[in-house]
Amino acid sequence: IASIMNRVRDLKNKYRNEDNITDELNCTKISADTTDNSGTVNQIMMTANNPEDWLCFLLRLEKKGVPQMDVSLLNRLIGRYSQAVTALPAEKHSQDENYARILVRFAQLKA
């Protein structure tokens, strides 16, 4: 837990605001190629299945357009965020900042 808290503190210091996080998030473990979403999702779920990989994938998917202007993209994003929330057990990830960001963004998209 201490190690996770130190990492979260380091991330907070490195990324002072939320805009930098979406632009500079390092996603080297999982390729977020959105042309084959099911393959990427399967890869995430079969490897670490952690909030960091899910968030990376979801943020890259969001960069494909403006959800408020594209109903198709909005519906696709809601489906993928729902899939991420289902795949990540709250008991295990409730203290993870990336998990919290997924939950918040999911709620924003649904609103």
- How confident is the model over 93-107, as pLDDT tens digits? 889 899 999 999 999
Range of the domain at 55: 46-110
Residues 6+ apart with CB under 8 A from 33: 39, 40
Q: How does residue 68 score in pLDDT terms, banded at 50, 70 and 90?
A: confident
Q: How does residue 22 score in pLDDT terms, banded at 50, 70 and 90?
A: very low
Q: Which secondary-structure segment (H or E) carries 77?
A: helix 71-87
Q: How does residue 30 score in pLDDT terms, banded at 50, 70 and 90?
A: very low
As a whole number of Å, the end-to-end CA separation of the chain is 33
Residue 13 has pLDDT above 90, yes or no: no
Residue 42 has pLDDT above 80, yes or no: no
Q: Does the residue 1 lie in any domain?
A: no
Q: Does the residue 38 lie in any domain?
A: no
Q: Does the residue 12 lie in any domain?
A: no
Q: How does residue 50 score in pLDDT terms, banded at 50, 70 and 90?
A: confident
Residues 6+ apart with CB under 8 A from 75: none
Q: How does residue 33 score in pLDDT terms, banded at 50, 70 and 90?
A: very low
What is the arithmetic mean of pLDDT over 32-60?
A: 71
Looking at the structure of the chain, the number of domains it has is 1
Q: Does the residue 88 lie in any domain?
A: yes
Q: Does the residue 62 lie in any domain?
A: yes
